[in-house]
């Protein structure tokens, strides 16, 4: 049942075809086997079972409950939960006091009736797109487990918890692709909103300039429903747009560099299906994108913002950090105030320029990540491979963060093939429009 979308699970609960207790037990069973002990850092078994029993009792008594009440969910380890230590996937915060209150996003999910079964492993402090964690372990992508491939990051455990049936959906964050990269590598849908749409309070920050909070789930409808809840709504999905009304801008530069044959084939197939369905795809050179490596050469907003937050903690607990993470954070020490102001001004100019280029288009269409998930063994003692592949994985999705635009990754591969994500990036503050477009694209890709 947990391999279905939220709407189907909610309908089964309402019809009495399953119960919250049954869903939670199935979730907990999955969390205790295979990748579960690695994907989920802290399992809330007793609380989840108690909440499920209470929700089932309310339904049995004929009392009104929210449509999603009783559905198992996971949250990334950087969200505050009352009574739990927020470690953000790091040993450096392991001795911190438990949170006094839930993060607003966690509160909203609980009010919707979702049952949080556990906190998921993540890249330390969310500072990598690969999903590796030397402290708590790295769960594997659901595809080609025999080889053992990375899940993508930083919402690594969250993505695997959904892919392996431990939860119907998960709550993640996205600073440069941390919802969309693991979605692409694990065959899921992942969404990054316009930053101000969802409150960041109660989430350990990486970059206050780029951070955003979004869901990973089975499909576009699930993500749209959850995004509405996270933004303070009741959980409203969006109707799919007719593909014949859609126009996409497809950059011919930057986003296709280094693309492997597997991703190229999946993207070519997706483009053909979309154009056959009546969508218009406009191939265009976007020179603004070629400026991004230079703008971020010193570490960009992520390095500067994270160093400001971490510098005191590094002085106290620096020896406990993942060396590959602390090295990136410490780059921020060399970024001056003048450099930061220049970067802010360049960002605003690029936002305006790309918005002009997008006029008449519904979204920018790109591969989420230009390569399939590499084997975990690729990174054994190889810092050069780590740096190169991390930058490559982050490159395309980080465009949406820099431009502060909503962006969504959805699967575009054929069944049985390696997971590949197709990414749609919309106009700033037009999140609901992007969901309508994405739902239409999803219908074509699944048809």
Active site residue ranges: 76, 154, 178
Q: DSSP assignment of 16-44, as one string? A: TSS-HHHHHHHHHHHHTSTTHHHHEEEE-
- Cα–Cα distance for residue pair 336/348, rounded to 1 Å: 19
CA-closest candidate to residue 142, choices 131, 134, 133: 131
DSSP 146-168: TT-B---SSSHHHHHHHHTTS-S
Candidates 126, 110, 118; CA nearest to 38 is: 118
Map 97-116 to HEC letters: CCECCCCHHHHHHHHCCCEE
| C-alpha to C-alpha distance for 127 and 143, rounded to whole angstroms | 24
Query: Between helices 220-230 and 6-14, what is the axis angle to 10°?
Result: 80
Q: Among 8, 75, 36, which Cα is nearest to 166's?
A: 36
């Amino acid at each position: 049942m947990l391999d279905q979308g939220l709407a189907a699970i909610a309908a089964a609960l309402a019809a009495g075809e399953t119960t919250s207790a049954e869903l939670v037990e199935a979730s907990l069973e999955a969390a205790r086997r295979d990748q579960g002990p690695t994907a989920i850092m802290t399992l809330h078994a007793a609380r989840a079972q108690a909440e499920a029993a209470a929700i089932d009792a309310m339904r049995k008594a004929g009392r009104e409950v929210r449509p999603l009440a009783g559905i198992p969910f996971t949250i990334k380890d950087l969200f505050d939960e009352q009574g739990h230590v927020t470690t953000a996937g790091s040993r450096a915060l392991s001795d911190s006091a438990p949170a006094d209150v839930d993060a607003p996003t966690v509160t909203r999910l609980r009010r919707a009736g979702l049952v949080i079964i556990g906190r998921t492993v993540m890249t330390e402090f969310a500072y990598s797109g690969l999903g590796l964690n030397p402290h708590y372990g790295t769960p594997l992508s659901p595809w080609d487990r025999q080889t053992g491939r990375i899940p993508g990051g930083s919402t690594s455990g969250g993505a695997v918890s959904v892919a392996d049936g431990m939860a119907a959906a998960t709550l993640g964050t996205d600073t440069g692709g941390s919802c969309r990269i693991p979605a692409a590598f694990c065959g899921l849908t992942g969404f990054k909103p316009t930053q101000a749409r969802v409150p960041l309070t109660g989430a350990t920050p990486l970059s206050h300039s780029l951070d955003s909070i979004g869901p990973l789930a089975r499909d576009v409808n699930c993500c749209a429903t959850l995004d509405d809840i996270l933004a303070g709504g009741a959980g409203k999905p969006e109707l799919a747009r007719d593909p014949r009304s859609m126009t996409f801008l497809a950059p011919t530069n930057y986003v296709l560099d280094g693309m492997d044959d597997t991703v190229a084939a999946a993207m070519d197939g997706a483009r053909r299906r979309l154009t056959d369905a009546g969508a218009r795809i406009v191939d265009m050179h976007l020179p603004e994108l070629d400026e991004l490596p230079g703008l971020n050469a010193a570490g960009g907003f992520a390095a500067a913002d994270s160093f400001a937050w971490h510098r005191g903690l590094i002085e106290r607990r620096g020896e406990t950090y993942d060396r590959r993470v602390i090295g990136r954070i410490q780059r921020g020490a060399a970024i001056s105030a003048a450099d930061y102001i220049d970067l802010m001004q360049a960002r605003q100019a690029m936002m305006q320029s790309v918005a002009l280029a997008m006029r008449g288009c519904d979204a920018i269409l790109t591969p989420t990540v230009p390569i399939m998930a590499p084997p975990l063994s690729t990174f054994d003692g190889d810092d050069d491979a780590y740096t190169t592949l991390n930058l490559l994985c982050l490159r395309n999705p980080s465009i949406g963060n820099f431009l502060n635009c909503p962006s969504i990754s959805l699967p575009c591969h054929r069944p049985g093939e390696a997971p590949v994500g197709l990414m749609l990036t919309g106009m700033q503050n037009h999140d609901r429009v992007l969901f309508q477009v994405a739902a239409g694209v999803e219908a074509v890709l699944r048809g």
